[in-house]
Amino acid sequence: MHPYAPLLIFIGLALLIPVAISVLYSLVSSRRPDPVKSTPYESGYPTPPIEGRFPAKFYFIAMLFVIFDVEAAAMYSWAVLLRELGAYGLAAMALFLIVFILGDLYVWKKGGFDWT
Amino acid sequence: MPVDGSLRLILPEIIVAGTGLLALTAGLVSRRSRLPGFVSMLGLAAAAYFLLAEVAGETTQIWSGTVLVDGFSTLFKAVFLGIAALIALVSFDYIERNGLPAGEFHLLVLLATVGMMFMAGSLNLITIYIGLECLALASYALTGMLRGSAKSTEASLKYILIGAISSGVILFGMSLVFGVAGSVHLAEINAALAGGTPMLPVLLAGMVFLVAGLGVKMAAVPFHMWAPDVYHGAPAPVAAFLITASEAAAFAAALRIFLVGLPAIQEHWTTVFVALAVITMTFGNVTAIVQTNMRRMLAYSAVAQAGYVMVGLAVASERAVSAMIYYLIAYAFATIGAFAVVILLGRYHPAEDIADYRGLGRRAPLLALTLTVFMLSFIGIPPTAGFFGKFYLFQSAVAAGMPWLALIMVLNSMVSIPYYWGVVQTMYLREGETDAPLPAPAGVRWTAAIGLAATLILGLFPDQVVQLVSAVQVVPALLSGGL
Amino acid sequence: MDFDPTRVAFIVVSAIAVVSAFRVVTAAKIMHAALWLGLTFLMLAGVFLLMGAEFLAAAQVLIYVGAITTIILFGIMLSEAAEVRGRGAAPLPVRRDDASLFRRIVLPALAVLAFVGVMVVVYSQVSWPDAPAGLGGDTVRMIGRALFTDFIIPFELAAVLLLIALIGAIVIAVRDNGRREQG
Amino acid sequence: MSIPLSYPLMLAAALFGIGLYGALSQRNAIRILMGIELMLNAVNINLVAFAYYLEGAAAAGQVFALFIMTVSAAEVALALAIILLLAKREKHIDIEQVNLLRW
Amino acid sequence: MEYNWLLILIPGLPLLGAALIAAGAQGRWNRSFLAALGCTAVFLAFVATVLVRLQYNAAAPFGSVHMPLWSWGVDGVGLGLLGDSISTWFALVVTGVGFLIHLYSAAYMADDPSYPRFFAKLNFFIFAMSVLVLADGFVGMLIGWANVGVASYLLIGFWHARPAAAAAAKKAYWVNTVGEIGLILGAIVMLQHFGSLYFADVLPQAWFAPQNVLNAVALLLLAGAVAKSAQLPLHVWLPDAMQGPTPVSALIHAATMVTAGVYLVVRAYPIFEAAPWGLPAVALVGIGSVLFGALAALGQNDIKRVLAFSTMSQVGYMMLGAGVGAYSAALFHFATHAFFKALLFLGAGVVIHRFGGEQDIRKMGGLGKSHPFAYWTFLIGTLALVGLPPLAGFYSKDAIVVGALMAGRPWLWALAVVGAGLTAFYMMRLFALVFTGDSPEVAAFQRGEGARQAAAAAEAGVGRSRPVPPLKMVPLVVLTLLSIVGGFFAMPDLSGVPGAAEGARLAAPPAHEAAVAGRVLTESSAATLTIALLLAVSVIGGGLALQRFGPKRAPQTAESGFVKAAGAGFYFDDFYRAVFVRPLRATAGFVGDVTEPHVIDGAVNGVARLAATLSGAVRRVQSGYVRRYALALMAGVAVVLIYFVLMV
């Protein structure tokens, strides 16, 4: 028995039901989209146009988040054998991070971080 | 593994990357949009110096084959550096005129160059793949850089979608090859397959995916369809960069993968490449005939030229490989030179129709003359470099017992004459609505001059270059001996 | 065949993965598609776990489920915001697809079926090992060691790659008021 | 007690196919992107499976998969940037309406 | 060899001239100065050629003037200039006649808006042609070959406003492309087999090569020769090429370029002799073109088209000579033909100007009275072409026909004699229709519609006797003299030509004897027989033609005129109606149909149209929908995958 098997079976079942439901729903239900139905509904008022540049800002944050994630994954594999790798690993990671930080500096300079 | 002297061997790559960051900062701190260009050219010169002074002549694997330094890689790296420098030179004026962010532009070009250098300089599928992606991502960004132009955005969207699909395809192929051979190192793959494998079908499937994925990068029909749109929509210098460097890098990677990694199934991939070569050159030429836009004409001609080069890949003999490299070099110079003229014209006629070249013989006699030489080189008329390159490929094809392939090349060159020659006729025989002379900025002039000189010299005295390229071997000696 | 929980788990997980992947490409609302995509990623993390790649499973959750799904959701929201802005307050026109059903659905479906069929044929021609080679020890250390010794160059190159993506994305997505732009 | 190698391979093929279908049949650029992500995940499954079943290939396979994750993250980020630019200008992300460049 | 550098001047000066004129045209220099520049360049080239020729004769019998220019990295592939008996012989004619025609053009094209452009192109042609004939290997020859193609393309399409001219230029381009492919393939095969493309390396080895290789090479080269020399079946472009200005027709499509094929065969004769199929194929093409051209010329009514087909037929004689091994005779006929055919074309130019652009010989006549000068020059040209002693054409044609007999090919000999008769017939027909009888005005007057015709003629600016300007007169006179005395020149011998030494040892006996026989024709009995026959058929043919179309011809069109004449009952009208006219008319009509743009033209123009349609279809594939791009991508993958699944 694989150590992770029960966990998986649990997750699997937990997910199976909503999936099955939504599948069934999508199979049975009939949909006829018409203009009114498919308008985004904001308590009866027509959707106000979204101005300004902050959506783009959101996007940066998301993107930076992606990249931080990847870095984190890399860093984890480095952290577990910090001792073993020693100075060499430190240097390698430093190089990796330098490039990365330069990128962040660039974003900063471009105003990716300011919220006003 | 500690950091040893092997860092010295990738010093050129490091310098190029560092230069990129320098160029970026230069672009950020200084208002003058020319500074980053100079920075990147200096950096490229330094990298080239180290490449030729320190690295050239070495043949060794470092970091367990994730990096390989040998004649092949050094030659290709030199080519890439040269192309990047020419692109930097030709794009001064273009960047200023279109208000492109100079620092970012040069950074992306340089990092793409780094990626290409690793593509040519590795025997490890992972390194090759990452290098490929560096090149690809930078190209997508560069293609979309003209934010004001719908064409540019469209081109980069198409490029990134097709490119992402193609990298998925390549990866699927790599994973299958890895599954069959149990390694990502080409030499070990070769060793594992040497005795024949029970999993031949899977291996063949993997090979097919690799061919297709790399075919996308080489713009081989039917995987080429992104190419005309991208070459048309991208900023002109970027298009020149993609046509020359990116294609060359794809061929370098393909040579390594197939000749070092998969010689065991050579008869199979030879079949595919022969078919691709024939289809590609024919399709490209036939389609180019009816083009009325200069950029698209050059794009389809690029497809056709890729077909010619692929003949070398299909023949895959020592001589064929050197012929390919020679052809790529010759073609790169002619293309960038031609694009210099295109950039100049685009400054006054944004439509870039061939009709806009009417009366160019009057308006800019010298540039018209150079463009004529480049067209002759594309056709392959002596004494230009294009002739010798084609001839060299003919020879290799005939020597390898594929005279009919050579015949198809000849026929295609014949078919290609009208549309190349049409440009020349337009320039000289048709009267433009204006005779106003076209002042050419220095960068454009110099690029055209360099391209012209190289085209003629390579065509008239190819001996040295031939010796250079015929010394190159795809399978490094240290591998062909052992394993 | 005797009951083998691992195998069953694998089958269940992959079944869910396939179904949700199918929903990704068929769901009516793009938001749902994105969520189904997240579910698929999660299931694949499970697959990795079952095949002794704990670290990859973690990375899968971290990168795909966490990051990529999120950014795709952001992308959807922003692009729809742009669409809405484009329409102003006008009601959403029902999108009618002008490309014929044949070209849109049938051809791709055929291509895909041909593809999968061929792959099945290919795979079925080969006898695969049934027992894993059993990779020893914890895979995190293994990966770390490989990453920092053999594959150090690709590792650093990956940093360059991320830099390219970052700067490229910003160059493209951020309007820089400093400079004049043309077509 | 174990999974035959052919299982994950089939799973990968199926996912690759579905992703491919998404990439080929969708009009919405972001959906195409999702399809491509599915394809890349299929490749990862292949790699991990091979790494699990082949002698001494574990490290390479898993590291390769890790790199693919990294790359696809970067790819998505860039692709979405381009799509957003398109959305800003054209007010739509329907690739069927994106064909200025043809012939 | 201290004079080797002279070789450079022969192509160099015209090239320089072309460049200067082009530049000058940009700078809008004085037109006549540019014209003079062009003429001078060619004249100096001619002088250089003469010097080289003298030096060659002075040199040792087997020596030759050689000058390597450069070589590409691969050994055996390079470019240099070679002055030996063949090449200098050709170069002499090219530059000499070329110079005369430059002079003529200076007057003929005087009121053309793009006068300088014309001279630039003419000079460029001289450059290309001299590279072709002076090259020391197939590489240089190919370069020249391609460039004369370009020059001819440009000059045929010189009046590119005329759609007909543009179409003709395209057609010529495509046909010659076919030929060039053959040539290039031949070169590739030779390079593979002989490891070199220099004549000096290839030709001496020819006799030792395996036969299939030789056959392949010979036929491929012949394909190139046939295309360039407008021989069967690739002759279709030549008649249309007459759309070009008349001097161009005279220089390129009569005197020099169309004989490049002959040059190729003679130059590579070791290959053709050693290849079993070589010489027979050449002879076949030659005789076929002789008869075909002659018959077709009968069917034509456009003065220039008549001359064009006659050119085809005469070049056919040269091919025949080469095909039976009488190389010297072929070279000889090339020279004399260049003289009198150029003369005829220039004369035709005068005629056409006189009739205000009219080219239909049925609408001409009576030029003799008004233009004695044109009359005499044209008459001499005609007689020389017919081969009346002691004019030039007689000796050369005779040498060829004798060569056929000596080579032991009586059938070829007989057919060649018949061809001579036909030649006499159509040439005299042309001459009679143009120069004898009544001028169109008079004819029209007799038909009672004088006023209108005269008015038309008047507004067409047709002066009754407009004096020929000296610039036109000089070349005409010189060419006339050459057509008269040209026959007394010594025939070129092939000593010192690459491969000749081996040829002397190894060549097949009849062929070689024929080459000898050519030199000593008057002594052999076969020669006397031939001479007699040739004279007889020429006189008969010419006489019949004069009888038929001469002064006493009926004023109306040929048909009814013919009937009338029959009614008038000349006593051997019936005879030749039965023997000559009917069959001739039938054949000529048929041949005319073939040459008209249905059969072969269709094929040629088809190529271009095909390419266009094809790429039109292909364009539609590039629909701009990225999804279809992806679909194509994956479809490609699927196809290849399935291929492997099924095949492997």
- Give the residue ranges of DSSP H helices in E157-198: 163-194
Percentage of residues in chain D having pLDDT higher than 70: 98
Which residues form the domain of E585? 575-603
- For residue B149, report the phi and psi dihedrals to the nearest 5 degrees: -105, 125
Instruction: Report the 3 state secondary structure along chain B.
Output: CCCCCHHHHCHHHHHHHHHHHHHHHHHHHCCCCCHHHHHHHHHHHHHHHHHHHHHCCCCEEECCCCEEECHHHHHHHHHHHHHHHHHHHHHHHHHHHHCCCHHHHHHHHHHHHHHHHHHHCCCEHHHHHHHHHHHHHHHHHHHCCCCCCHHHHHHHHHHHHHHHHHHHHHHHHHHHHHHHHCCCEHHHHHHHHHCCCCCHHHHHHHHHHHHHHHHHHHCCCCCCCHHHHHHHHCCHHHHHHHHHHHHHHHHHHHHHHHHHHCHHHHHHHHHHHHHHHHHHHHHHHHHHHCCCEHHHHHHHHHHHHHHHHHHHHHHCCHHHHHHHHHHHHHHHHHHHHHHHHHHHHHHHCCCCEHHHHCCHHHHCHHHHHHHHHHHHHHHCCCCCHHHHHHHHHHHHHHHCCCHHHHHHHHHHHHHHHHHHHHHHHHHHCCCCCCCCCCCCCHHHHHHHHHHHHHHHHHHHCCHHHHHHHHHCCCCCHHHHHCC
- CA dist., res. E343 & res. E339, Å (int): 6
Cβ burial, residue C136 (10 Å; 0-12/13-18/19+): exposed
Residues in A touching D66 (Cβ below 8 Å): 73, 77
User: To probe the interface with B, which of A88, A96, A106, A110 has the most B CB atoms within 10 Å?
Assistant: A106
Nearest to C21 among D7, D15, D75 (CB): D15
Q: Could you tell me if E218 and E271 are in contact, meaning their C-beta atoms sit under 8 angstroms apart?
A: yes
- CA dist., res. E408 & res. E514, Å (int): 9
Percentage of residues in chain B having pLDDT higher than 70: 98
E532 within domain boundaries: no
Taking CA atoms, C68 is separated from A62, A99, C60, in Å, by 9, 22, 10
Determine whether the interchain pair D84/A59 forms a contact, defined as Cβ–Cβ distance below 8 Å: yes
Nearest to C118 among E628, E635, E641 (CB): E641
- CA dist., res. E94 & res. A3, Å (int): 94
Structure tokens at C96: 């009618």
Q: Could you tell me if C34 and D80 are in contact, meaning their C-beta atoms sit under 8 angstroms apart?
A: no
Residues in B touching E145 (Cβ below 8 Å): none
Pseudo-torsion of CA B331, B335, B338, B339, nearest 10°? -170
Residues 114-143 of C with CB under 8 A from D: 115-116, 119-120, 123, 128-133, 135, 139, 142-143
Pseudo-torsion of CA C156, C165, B132, E627, nearest 10°? 160
- For residue E276, report the phi and psi dihedrals to the nearest 5 degrees: -55, -40
Helices and strands (DSSP H and E) totals, chain E = 30, 2
Beta bridge partners of residue E70, listed in sequence order: E79
Residue B373 has what pLDDT? 93
Q: Could you tell me if E115 and E109 are in contact, meaning their C-beta atoms sit under 8 angstroms apart?
A: yes
CA atoms within 13 A on the CB side of E412: 30
Residue E568 has what pLDDT? 38
B176 pLDDT band (50/70/90 cuts)? very high
Structure tokens at B394: 């003919």
Determine whether the interchain pair D46/B164 forms a contact, defined as Cβ–Cβ distance below 8 Å: no
Residue E588 has what pLDDT? 53
Determine whether the interchain pair A88/B24 forms a contact, defined as Cβ–Cβ distance below 8 Å: no
Domain tally, chain E: 1
E590 within domain boundaries: yes
Determine whether the interchain pair B28/A91 forms a contact, defined as Cβ–Cβ distance below 8 Å: no
Residues in C touching E628 (Cβ below 8 Å): 103
In chain D, what is the straight-line distance between the N-terminal and C-terminal CA atoms, in Å? Answer: 57
B403 in contact with chain E, both atoms CB, cutoff 8 A: yes
Q: Could you tell me if C122 and B208 are in contact, meaning their C-beta atoms sit under 8 angstroms apart?
A: no
Mean pLDDT across chain C, nearest whole number? 78
Residues in D touching A67 (Cβ below 8 Å): 73-74, 77
Residue E393 has what pLDDT? 81
Residues 26-45 of D with CB under 8 A from C: 26-28, 30-31, 33-35, 37-38, 41, 44-45
Determine whether the interchain pair E622/D25 forms a contact, defined as Cβ–Cβ distance below 8 Å: no
E217 within domain boundaries: no
User: To probe the interface with C, which of E642, E643, E648 has the most C CB atoms within 10 Å?
Assistant: E642
Chains that touch B (3 or more CB pairs under 8 A): A, C, D, E
Segments in chain C below pLDDT 50? 88-96, 177-183
Determine whether the interchain pair B3/A88 forms a contact, defined as Cβ–Cβ distance below 8 Å: yes
Residue B161 has what pLDDT? 93
Determine whether the interchain pair D69/A70 forms a contact, defined as Cβ–Cβ distance below 8 Å: yes
Q: Could you tell me if B47 and B90 are in contact, meaning their C-beta atoms sit under 8 angstroms apart?
A: no
Determine whether the interchain pair A67/D1 forms a contact, defined as Cβ–Cβ distance below 8 Å: no
Mean predicted confidence (pLDDT) in E625-644:
82
B28 in contact with chain A, both atoms CB, cutoff 8 A: yes
Is the pair A, C in contact (3+ CB pairs within 8 Å)? yes
- For residue B60, report the phi and psi dihedrals to the nearest 5 degrees: -160, 155
Structure tokens at D9: 């391979």
Determine whether the interchain pair D66/A73 forms a contact, defined as Cβ–Cβ distance below 8 Å: yes
Residue B114 has what pLDDT? 95
Q: What is the pLDDT of residues D57-98, one digit of tens each?
A: 778 899 999 999 999 999 999 999 898 888 877 777 777 777
Q: Which of E105, E110, E107 is nearest to E121 (CA)?
A: E105
Q: What is the pLDDT of residues E427-462, one digit of tens each?
A: 888 888 888 776 666 655 555 554 555 555 544 444
Q: What is the pLDDT of residues E480-536, one digit of tens each?
A: 888 888 777 766 666 566 666 555 554 444 444 445 444 444 445 666 777 777 787
Residue B107 has what pLDDT? 94
- CA dist., res. C64 & res. C42, Å (int): 8
Residue E569 has what pLDDT? 34
Q: Could you tell me if E493 and E86 are in contact, meaning their C-beta atoms sit under 8 angstroms apart?
A: no
- CA dist., res. B76 & res. E465, Å (int): 75
Q: Most confidently modeled of B231-240, E48-57, E415-424?
A: B231-240
Residues 6+ positions from C170 with CB-CB distance below 8 Å:
A60, A106, A107, A110, A112, D81
- CA dist., res. B437 & res. E403, Å (int): 62
Taking CA atoms, E101 is separated from D55, E115, E169, E345, E471, in Å, by 84, 14, 21, 10, 10
Nearest to C179 among B99, B133, B151 (CB): B99
Q: Which of E85, E60, E88, E377 is nearest to E250 (CA)?
A: E377
Structure tokens at B40: 């990147």
Q: Could you tell me if B58 and B208 are in contact, meaning their C-beta atoms sit under 8 angstroms apart?
A: no
Mean predicted confidence (pLDDT) in D9-28:
88
Determine whether the interchain pair A67/D66 forms a contact, defined as Cβ–Cβ distance below 8 Å: no
A11-25, B215-229, E47-61, E84-98: which range is least confident on average?
A: E47-61
The whole-angstrom distance between D57's CA and the closest CA on chain E is: 27
- CA dist., res. E240 & res. B10, Å (int): 65
DSSP string of chain D, one letter each residue: ----THHHHHHHHHHHHHHHHHHHH--BHHHHHHHHHHHHHHHHHHHHHHHHHSTT-HHHHHHHHHHHHHHHHHHHHHHHHHHHHHHHHHS--BGGG--SS--
pLDDT of E371 above 80: no
- CA dist., res. E416 & res. E422, Å (int): 10
Structure pTM? 0.75
Determine whether the interchain pair C170/A110 forms a contact, defined as Cβ–Cβ distance below 8 Å: yes
Residues in C touching B238 (Cβ below 8 Å): none
E581 within domain boundaries: yes
Residue C38 has what pLDDT? 93
Structure tokens at E156: 């045929």
User: To probe the interface with C, which of D3, D7, D68, D97 has the most C CB atoms within 10 Å?
Assistant: D3
Q: Which of C58, C28, C64 is nearest to C46 (CA)?
A: C58
Q: Could you tell me if E414 and E291 are in contact, meaning their C-beta atoms sit under 8 angstroms apart?
A: no
Q: What is the ipTM of this complex?
A: 0.82
Nearest to A91 among B3, B21, B28 (CB): B3
E618 in contact with chain B, both atoms CB, cutoff 8 A: yes
In chain C, what is the straight-line distance between the N-terminal and C-terminal CA atoms, in Å? Answer: 66
Mean pLDDT across chain E, nearest whole number? 75
Residues 6+ positions from E267 with CB-CB distance below 8 Å:
E86, E87, E141, E199, E497
E580 within domain boundaries: yes
pLDDT of E472 above 50: yes
User: To probe the interface with A, which of C83, C87, C92, C94 has the most A CB atoms within 10 Å?
Assistant: C92
Q: What is the pLDDT of residues C113-134, one digit of tens each?
A: 877 888 888 888 887 777 776 6
Nearest to B289 among E191, E611, E635 (CB): E611
- CA dist., res. E546 & res. C42, Å (int): 103
Residues 94-113 of A with CB under 8 A from B: 102, 106, 109
Nearest to C140 among A35, A64, A80 (CB): A80
Nearest to A66 among D66, D73, D84 (CB): D73
In terms of CA atoms, which chain E residue is nearest residue C109?
A: E631
